[in-house]
Amino acid sequence: MENYRITVLKGDGIGPEIVDETLKVLDRAGEVYGFRMQYDFRLMGGCAIDAAGVPLPADTVEACRQSDSVLLGAVGGPQWDTMPGHLRPEAGLLGIRGALGLYANLRPAKIFPALKAASPIKQSIIGDSLDIMVVRELTGGIYFGERGRCEKDGVRAAFDTEFYTVPEIVRIAKVGFEMARKRGKKLCSVDKANVLESSRLWRETVVALSADYPDVELSHMYVDNCAMQLVRNPAQFDVIVTSNMFGDILSDEASMISGSIGMLASASLAGGSFGLYEPIHGSAPDIAGRGVANPLATILSAAMMLKYSFGLEAAAAAVERAVNAALESARTPDIFEEGYRKVGTAEMGALVASLIA
């Protein structure tokens, strides 16, 4: 029986609740498909600030490096909002991505058949199904560029710098091309090349790399047009590859097409099998501890872990089927509709686990 070492970062807010249910699902999948998870629980985010004075303790980073994969809940909360930027919980997210070299963020926007009616987009626009993969560069761009405060013309000012090197663009574009090659063979590179010099370099580099992928249809789109097209005609997209900030915004927009941000998983990869898996939603401190949070995004993130880090595609598919089957009868409050049974976090986790076969 294969054993996998997982560093678990429950985080803040609803993080512990949704992660606990996900571990139950992983354990059940292991029973059915013949593998075992060994969990190493560590601190990151606000809980780490309270316990160790920093959002990302050194022992957490080391534990992640020694593991086969990392599962993260969510970080942040109003009690840490007044902390300096480098000591806020969100700094832990940027820190862990940089420390582990997680440069490729995969964010699928997929509508489960049972949730078609929950999408704010008309079914005539969505069509029979919708499955978009956003490939977001994660360790470069404006989030990691030079920043600061200054004075200009006698008034206070601030700046953040968008910066990319050709190797950074090449490695994320390769992920996009490879992902498209395994899916619908269509890749849309999103930039703002009509205005930004960094985007012009991005487009030139992606075009040059496309010669290595003649079987993949490459298109380009400005980010503002892409934001519009995701609502107007989302079915036109297969794989989108884009920069850190653009990917952050577009993937959140795409997530709402699926009916709820509580359904969207993500994987952050370092170029091999190692990855960090987390839901794209936040820590939702307003509902923390009430047992009503939707654990499905975290559960689906674990399914991505099974697929991309461990090659357990049958187990990953079984988890996805179990999620869809659970949605046929039960809903958490964020996706509740009349005619379904309203359930809490623990009930939904137990239901998904029971349906894995």
CATH code, domain with 206: 3.40.718.10
Query: Is position 113 within any domain?
Result: no
Whether 83 and 132 share a structural domain? no
The verdict on 246 and 297 lying in the same domain is no
Assess whether 225 and 125 both reside in one domain: yes
Q: Do residues 288 and 306 both lie within one domain?
A: yes
Buried b (16+ CB within 10 A) or exposed e, 178-187: ebbeeeeeeb
Are the CB atoms for 204 and 192 separated by under 8 Å?
no
Cα separation of 136 and 238, whole Å?
A: 14
Buried b / exposed e across 286-316, counting CB within 10 Å, b at 16+?
Answer: ebbeeebbbbbbbbbbbbbbbbbbbebeebb
Q: Are 292 and 163 part of one and the same domain?
A: no
Give pLDDT, residue 273: 86
Q: Are 60 and 51 in contact (CB under 8 A)?
A: no
Catalytic residues, by residue number, are 143, 192, 224, 248, 252
**Crossing angle of the two packed helices 313-327 and 296-308, in degrees rounded to 10:** 160
The range of the structural domain enclosing residue 325 comes to: 1-103+261-357
Residues 184 and 76 in one domain: no
Structural domain count, the chain: 2
Whole-angstrom distance, CA of residue 302 vs CA of residue 135:
18
Greatest pairwise CA separation for the chain in angstroms: 67
pLDDT at position 123? 75
Any domain includes 111: no
Report d(CA 319, CA 324) in Å as an integer. Answer: 9
195 vs 115, 201, 242, 300, 313, CA distance in Å? Answer: 38, 12, 16, 37, 42
Per-residue confidence (pLDDT) for residue 301, from 0 to 100: 97
Percent of the chain with pLDDT over 70: 99
pLDDT digits (tens, 9 = 90+) for 317-350: 999 999 999 999 999 998 888 899 999 999 999 9
What pLDDT does 337 receive?
86
| CB neighbour list of residue 316: distance below 8 Å, 6 or more residues apart | 303, 304, 306, 307
Q: Is there a single domain that holds both residue 129 and residue 208?
A: yes
pTM: 0.88
CB-count exposure of residue 89 (10 Å: 0-12, 13-18, 19+): buried
- CA gyration radius, the chain: 20
Q: How much is the pLDDT for 256?
A: 75
pLDDT at res. 284: 93
Is 66 part of a structural domain of the chain? yes
Closest to 92 measured CA to CA, from 109, 73, 111, 106: 73
Low-confidence ranges of the chain (pLDDT < 70): 128, 259
